[in-house]
A and B are shown apart, each in its own frame.
Chain A
Amino acid sequence: MEALSANIKEDLKPPRVNIGIIGWVRANLFNGVFNSILTIVMLFLLWKTIPPLLQWAFIDSTWLAGSASCRQSPEGACWSIISKNFRFIIFGFYPYELQWRPLVAMIILFSLLFYSRNRNNWKKSLGYAWITGLILMGILMKGGLLGLKSVETTQWGGLPLTLLLAVFGLTAAYPLGVVLALGRQSKMKGVKVLSILYIELIRGVPLISLLFMSSIIFPLFLPEGITINKILRAQVAIILFTAAYIAEVVRGGLQGMTQGQYEAAEALGLNYYLTLRLVILPQALKIVIPPTVSILISAFKDTSLVVIIALFDLLKTTQSVLSNPEWMGFSREAYMFIAILYFAGCFSMSNYSRKLERELSRG
């Protein structure tokens, strides 16, 4: 009797099946008949796909041996297509003994990106650091200065080319996009019409038509004797294309500004340029940072389209490895590797964009 009353005085614990792992599973996987069926179907599908995939990718796979031993074990993945051709896939036809130069350029780029992640570091000095970095990267790639051996742009390729097209594409497209957005908001009818025409025309056509234009029509535009190299032409096409999309994003930010901001700036006696520089753009561009990052992501992905006009970017170097009879038939492994590289790049950008969005909404 005594023992019983002592028991009652204790706090009544929730039933064992409502807490801990069992509770979580019940609440999240088996709440209701429909969800239970769904869970079981999903588990079945996962069990059917994941173990064979792991078996293929890790257990039966060949990592370092040559293609001959890959062909002996066809049930596993052949990752040696990557390990054996790694430097060609990454650097393309860049002279073998000079490949440290694009490597250093990429390291500079990544460290700049890494440093710029923190918004507290966004100062004027960072802007100068970027400009210096970009120039340095250009010198490293091209050579011909400071005792570096000159490397023709036709030999550029692989990951450095992909990054170059994306980074320079965006840095040049951004100011152009801002100008176009301002043109579209302008009170001057003529400027407005021109901007709208440009933006809608570019956004209406696929990038590939612009790339075709750059590779086959652009040479016709130039006077006789002047040629511009292929990479630069593709770069211009990417810039013109991206600028139209940035313009639309920036326009969203400009429309978010209330009329009061303009009026207040006018009341202070600021002219158009100063109004934009000191009042409107700092606010408008801040609002549109997250959508700008998603433009950056799609610009990065879109650089892969230069394959079609036969520039040796990351995808094209991989394909040329695949067209080598020794490595023919291992496309899945090669494309998966490239996909992982692109995924890593895009995922870190979109993750960063989400983080930034949270920070900005907190104020």
Chain B
Amino acid sequence: MDNALSEKVPFWLDPKKRSLIYQMFIFCMVGLLAYYLVSNTLTNLKRQSIATGFGFIQKESSFEIGESLIPYSAADTYGRALIVGALNTLKVSFVGIIFSLIIGTLIGVGRLSSNWLVSKISSLYIEVMQDIPILLQLFFWYALFYEALPSPQNSLSPFKGVFLCNRGAAFAVPAAHPAYKYMLLALLIGAITAYAIRRWARKRQEKTGQLFPVFTVSLGLIVVLPLFTWVAFGAPLKMNIPRLSGFNFVGGVTVSPEFIALFLGLVLYTAAFVAEVVRAGIQSVSTGQTEAAMAIGLKKGAILNLVILPQALRVIIPPLTSQMLNLTKNSSLAVAIGYPDFVSVANTTINQTGQSIEGVALIMTIYLIFSLSTSVFMNWYNKKVALVER
């Protein structure tokens, strides 16, 4: 009976066969389009006698890069130049993410403050920053540096050891001393011990119900241990203060105006979005939760740690990671103000070698790697914090 029925149905009315035909059709169209574009490209490349392939990476770049985390000169290869660019992208994104998280959280909390003035100023900030294109903001900060700040000779010094001029900013940093190496080690040891104590305390609490003041002890470990090391080495206080030599500063740490403009723009712009995410996260936890926690006698810190944060973070983290990713993607606008990030270096490479397809492909690949690794992390995190329902 069943067989007889399916024989009568013509193939174009059978959903399964029909969907197969649709898909074959779509794949054929996509394939044809791809073939058309690729064959056109190949003929064009042959006509303009452009060599394809990534051979250019081995060649000498012969252009200088303003700032670099690793040693680099014009005699190095394009490959190394691109690595310098990628590291610069990572540098500005990393610093930018940390600062935009801090500022964004403060503004997001300020937005919900019972203080009328703070709440109004925060919401004004969020609205204004979100509604002005990031590129315009970058140009603005860059122009501000170039036009409003004096030359290095008459540079401003708002705080002791900090100098601002139209060539960038210079900061005083502690002079090199062997103590700092050991302080870093002490910090690392402190952090690892704190982590171990936290795990142990949680296990013990599950077994016996006894609480352990994890936070105070960890703070003590992380702060006191390096401090103790510092004192043990005789508390070195010498600072490396930048001073003017000719037209530029030597000593201390100098930061280029391009970096500062990019950093300021990215941080101030992203902070507005982070603030909105944080606000939404806090508001998603109803006041009933706080009241219930109070009713069962939890302390203020415990309420925040055990009730509010776990619920708020579940809402906050996913949009927050996408904001972090946005910041990384927006850092590609560095090319407009001349900070040597990956896109800017790749752009120079394209202009010099004419390898446009490879160059753009490299840009896309780098950013795809960033975003794919972020989404892998997100999937892991979402599984970890997903509500376990009975």
**Across-interface contacts of A305 in B (CB, < 8 A):** 135, 333
Q: Are A216 and B350 in contact (CB under 8 A)?
A: yes
* B143 interface residue per 8 A CB criterion: yes
* B321 interface residue per 8 A CB criterion: no
Number of contacting residues on A, CB 8 A?
53
**Given A217-B357, A315-B135, A201 contacting B27 (CB threshold 8 A):** no
Q: Which residue of B lies closest to A314 (CB)?
A: B136
Q: Are A42 and B117 in contact (CB under 8 A)?
A: yes
**Across-interface contacts of A224 in B (CB, < 8 A):** 43-44, 47
Q: Are A212 and B360 in contact (CB under 8 A)?
A: yes
Q: Are A190 and B335 in contact (CB under 8 A)?
A: no
Q: A177-208: contact bitstring with B at CB < 8 Å (1 yes, 0 no)?
A: 00000000001111100100000010111101
**Given A342-B131, A343-B131, A220 contacting B144 (CB threshold 8 A):** no
For the complex, what is the distance from the CA of A68 to the CA of B179, rounded to whole Å? 58
Listed stretches A116-124, A284-292, A296-304; interface member: A296-304
* A110 interface residue per 8 A CB criterion: no
**Given A220-B44, A220-B45, A346-B131, A191 contacting B26 (CB threshold 8 A):** yes
Q: Are A338 and B19 in contact (CB under 8 A)?
A: no
* B157 interface residue per 8 A CB criterion: no
For the complex, what is the distance from the CA of A351 to the CA of B176, rounded to whole Å? 53
Q: A339-359: contact bitstring with B at CB < 8 Å (1 yes, 0 no)?
A: 100110111001000000000
Q: Are A206 and B139 in contact (CB under 8 A)?
A: no
* B115 interface residue per 8 A CB criterion: yes
Q: Are A28 and B147 in contact (CB under 8 A)?
A: no
Q: Which of A31, A217, A304, A329 contacts B147 (CB 8 A)?
A: A329
* B262 interface residue per 8 A CB criterion: no
Point out which of A43, A332, A338, A339 has the most chain B C-beta atoms below 10 A from its C-beta. A339
Q: Are A205 and B364 in contact (CB under 8 A)?
A: yes
For the complex, what is the distance from the CA of A39 to the CA of B110, rounded to whole Å? 12
* A104 interface residue per 8 A CB criterion: no
* B133 interface residue per 8 A CB criterion: yes
* A268 interface residue per 8 A CB criterion: no
Which chain B residues in 41-81 approach chain A with CB under 8 Å?
Answer: 41, 43-45, 47
Q: Which residue of A lies closest to B37 (CB)?
A: A221
**Across-interface contacts of A194 in B (CB, < 8 A):** 26-27, 30
For the complex, what is the distance from the CA of A272 to the CA of B367, rounded to whole Å? 37
Q: Are B115 and A38 in contact (CB under 8 A)?
A: yes
Q: Which of A191, A206, A212, A308 contacts B329 (CB 8 A)?
A: A206
Q: Which of A203, A307, A329, A345 contacts B336 (CB 8 A)?
A: A307
* A111 interface residue per 8 A CB criterion: no
**Across-interface contacts of B22 in A (CB, < 8 A):** 188, 191
**Across-interface contacts of B117 in A (CB, < 8 A):** 28-29, 38-39, 42-43
* B311 interface residue per 8 A CB criterion: no
Q: B96-132: contact bitstring with A at CB < 8 Å (1 yes, 0 no)?
A: 0000000000000000011111100100000110111
* A85 interface residue per 8 A CB criterion: no
Q: Are A220 and B143 in contact (CB under 8 A)?
A: no
Minimum Cβ distance to chain B for residue A348 (Å): 10
Q: Which residue of A lies closest to B27 (CB)?
A: A190
* B155 interface residue per 8 A CB criterion: no
* B254 interface residue per 8 A CB criterion: no
Q: Which residue of B lies closest to A25 (CB)?
A: B116
Which chain B residues in 339-356 approach chain A with CB under 8 Å?
Answer: 343, 347, 350, 356
Q: Are B132 and A222 in contact (CB under 8 A)?
A: no
* B134 interface residue per 8 A CB criterion: yes
Which chain A residues in 300-329 approach chain B with CB under 8 Å?
Answer: 301-302, 304-305, 307-308, 315, 319, 329
Q: Are B128 and A307 in contact (CB under 8 A)?
A: no
Q: Are A191 and B133 in contact (CB under 8 A)?
A: no
Q: Are A331 and B343 in contact (CB under 8 A)?
A: no
Q: Are B116 and A220 in contact (CB under 8 A)?
A: no
Q: Are A35 and B114 in contact (CB under 8 A)?
A: yes
**Across-interface contacts of A307 in B (CB, < 8 A):** 135, 336
Minimum Cβ distance to chain B for residue A229 (Å): 18
* A262 interface residue per 8 A CB criterion: no
* A14 interface residue per 8 A CB criterion: no
Q: Which of A29, A203, A212, A331 contacts B143 (CB 8 A)?
A: A331
* B323 interface residue per 8 A CB criterion: no
* B368 interface residue per 8 A CB criterion: yes
Q: Are A187 and B130 in contact (CB under 8 A)?
A: no
Q: Are A205 and B130 in contact (CB under 8 A)?
A: no
Q: B294-327: contact bitstring with A at CB < 8 Å (1 yes, 0 no)?
A: 0000000000000000000000000000000000
Q: Are A208 and B335 in contact (CB under 8 A)?
A: yes
* B248 interface residue per 8 A CB criterion: no
Q: Are B26 and A190 in contact (CB under 8 A)?
A: yes
Interface of B with A (CB < 8 Å)?
Answer: 19, 22-23, 26-27, 30, 37, 40-41, 43-45, 47, 113-118, 121, 127-128, 130-137, 139-140, 143-144, 146-148, 329-330, 332-333, 335-336, 343, 347, 350, 356-357, 359-360, 363-364, 367-368, 370-372
9 tightest A-B CB contacts, nearest first: A331-B143, A346-B131, A28-B116, A204-B371, A190-B23, A301-B133, A206-B329, A304-B133, A206-B332
Interface of A with B (CB < 8 Å)?
Answer: 28-29, 31, 35, 38-39, 42-43, 187-191, 194, 201, 203-206, 208-209, 212-213, 216-217, 219-224, 297, 301-302, 304-305, 307-308, 315, 319, 329, 331-332, 335-336, 338-339, 342-343, 345-347, 350
Question: Can you list 16 A-B pairs with a CB-CB distance of less than 8 A?
Answer: A31-B115, A209-B332, A209-B367, A216-B360, A220-B41, A301-B131, A301-B132, A304-B133, A305-B135, A332-B148, A339-B140, A342-B131, A342-B133, A347-B127, A350-B130, A350-B131
8 more contacts with CB within 8 A, not counting A201-B368, A308-B135, A339-B140, are A39-B115, A205-B368, A217-B357, A224-B47, A297-B131, A301-B132, A304-B136, A315-B139
